[in-house]
Chains A and B, each alone.
Chain A
Amino acid sequence: MTTVTESVRNVPASGPLLWVNRKETAVEPTPTQAVEPARIVALVRAAQRGDRLAVSGLLELVTPYVRRLCGPIALDDGPDATQEALIAVFRRLRQLEEPAALFGWVRAIAVREAVRHAQRAGRYAPAELTEVPAPGDPQLAADIRDVLDRLTPEHRAVLVLRDLEGMDERQTAELLGVATGTVKSRLSRARLSFRRAWQQ
């Protein structure tokens, strides 16, 4: 008979270490490049069965990704947003039917939680930019934090999903639960508006 603990230990050991002696300062792998899919599936299954060491390993695996999503959307509230997003992820873990889709599922929860948390915190300044800067805008490359400071959380989410996650308008609209037209309007006339704001 295989115990829960044994099942975690039988997770394939090749690839980057997920939790054993991994230091906080280690370079964080991007989720899609670093961990074997079979290992992710085994961890998710063990965590769904209630193995808390597997939960801990999974937590370590997804936390860098959630931090990267919540940071640009929630800004100064990023740590709280990350914590709330992770709590939401692990409370709903049993609902994840397809473990291989872990990161897409985590992304949807994290972005929504980050927007919700940033809205609730209400600490952002009134938006000076009404649209998201276009891809490749030199000002965007020069100072992302300044751009983010002048966008609403919803606009920041659009920017993150497009520029960090490479999602298109339809995917972004689905994830944020808004119409595609809404995403388009946030992106439209972007370069002109953005440059105008910068030139003032």
Chain B
Amino acid sequence: MTEQTAPASWPVADFDPVRRLAVLAATVPGAALHQAVVDAPFDRVWAVAADLEGALPHWLPDIRTVRPSADGTEALVVGHSRLRARFDIELRPGWCLMQSRFVLGGMAAHPEDDGTTRFAFLGAFRFPAIGLLATVLRPATAPLGERSLRRFEALVREAHG
């Protein structure tokens, strides 16, 4: 009896949600991507990230309230400044994208081998002209991104404590 050769297994490149968010960031003019390795497992990190109503206003500076719809596909977001907009939301484990008429926001997380979690968030305006302005302003806004990341990490620690 002839032994059957096993089907060939072609290597498939790994790809994770943080890389996917980086692709979006690279294709949106003026988008700012901030990322960090959070010293906590994925489930704890994403529990905070996915809590749009309870957690987002505590770590993103301009957001005052987030009111998700019952099915979770939309949310009314009100900011401390003039932001008041309805966002379409795409949310699943490790991935969240929020889009209003003018603003795009996103979060992604991926578990690392050592038990930590890579977390990234993205902020952008949706139109090129505004995006170019955002590019000019990026040196001023970058520290805000880092500060937001630190607040996010603190929330993850508090949630565990």
B-binding residues in A (CB < 8 A)? 5, 19-24, 50-53, 55-56, 59-60, 63, 66-68, 70-72, 74-75, 78-79, 81-83, 86-87, 90-91, 93, 138, 140-142, 144-145, 148, 160, 164
Min distance, Cβ A29 to any Cβ of chain B, angstroms:
14
B57 interface residue (CB < 8 Å to A): no
Decide: B11 and A148 in contact? CB cutoff 8 A.
yes
Decide: A52 and B10 in contact? CB cutoff 8 A.
no
Within 8 Å CB of B90, what residues of A? 19-20, 53, 56
Min distance, Cβ B2 to any Cβ of chain A, angstroms:
11
Given contacts A20-B90, A53-B97, A55-B24, contact A79 B8 (CB under 8 A): no
List 12 additional A-B contacts (Cβ < 8 Å) besides A93-B27, A141-B7.
Answer: A5-B99, A22-B92, A23-B93, A50-B127, A55-B27, A56-B97, A59-B24, A67-B12, A72-B10, A79-B13, A83-B23, A87-B23
Within 8 Å CB of B13, what residues of A? 66-68, 70-71, 74, 78-79, 81-82
Contact of B28 among A24, A52, A141 (CB under 8 A): A52
Within 8 Å CB of A53, what residues of B? 88, 90, 97, 99
Min distance, Cβ A125 to any Cβ of chain B, angstroms:
16
A-binding residues in B (CB < 8 A)? 5-17, 19-20, 22-24, 26-28, 88, 90, 92-94, 97, 99, 104, 126-127
Min distance, Cβ A163 to any Cβ of chain B, angstroms:
8
Min distance, Cβ A139 to any Cβ of chain B, angstroms:
10
Min distance, Cβ A143 to any Cβ of chain B, angstroms:
8
Within 8 Å CB of B7, what residues of A? 141
Decide: A78 and B14 in contact? CB cutoff 8 A.
yes
Within 8 Å CB of B99, what residues of A? 5, 51-53
Within 8 Å CB of B14, what residues of A? 67, 78-79
Decide: A52 and B22 in contact? CB cutoff 8 A.
no
Decide: A50 and B24 in contact? CB cutoff 8 A.
no
Within 8 Å CB of B20, what residues of A? 59-60, 63, 86
Min distance, Cβ B73 to any Cβ of chain A, angstroms:
8
Min distance, Cβ A177 to any Cβ of chain B, angstroms:
22
Distance in angstroms between the alpha carbons of A5 and B127 in the assembled complex: 14
Decide: B10 and A68 in contact? CB cutoff 8 A.
yes
Decide: B17 and A24 in contact? CB cutoff 8 A.
yes
Contact of A90 among B19, B27, B92 (CB under 8 A): B27
Distance in angstroms between the alpha carbons of A22 and B16 in the assembled complex: 14
Distance in angstroms between the alpha carbons of A138 and B3 in the assembled complex: 12
Decide: A91 and B27 in contact? CB cutoff 8 A.
yes
Distance in angstroms between the alpha carbons of A53 and B97 in the assembled complex: 7
Decide: A82 and B104 in contact? CB cutoff 8 A.
no
Within 8 Å CB of B27, what residues of A? 55, 87, 90-91, 93
Min distance, Cβ B21 to any Cβ of chain A, angstroms:
9
Min distance, Cβ B31 to any Cβ of chain A, angstroms:
10
Min distance, Cβ B49 to any Cβ of chain A, angstroms:
16
Decide: A82 and B19 in contact? CB cutoff 8 A.
yes
Distance in angstroms between the alpha carbons of A79 and B11 in the assembled complex: 11
Within 8 Å CB of A82, what residues of B? 13, 15, 19
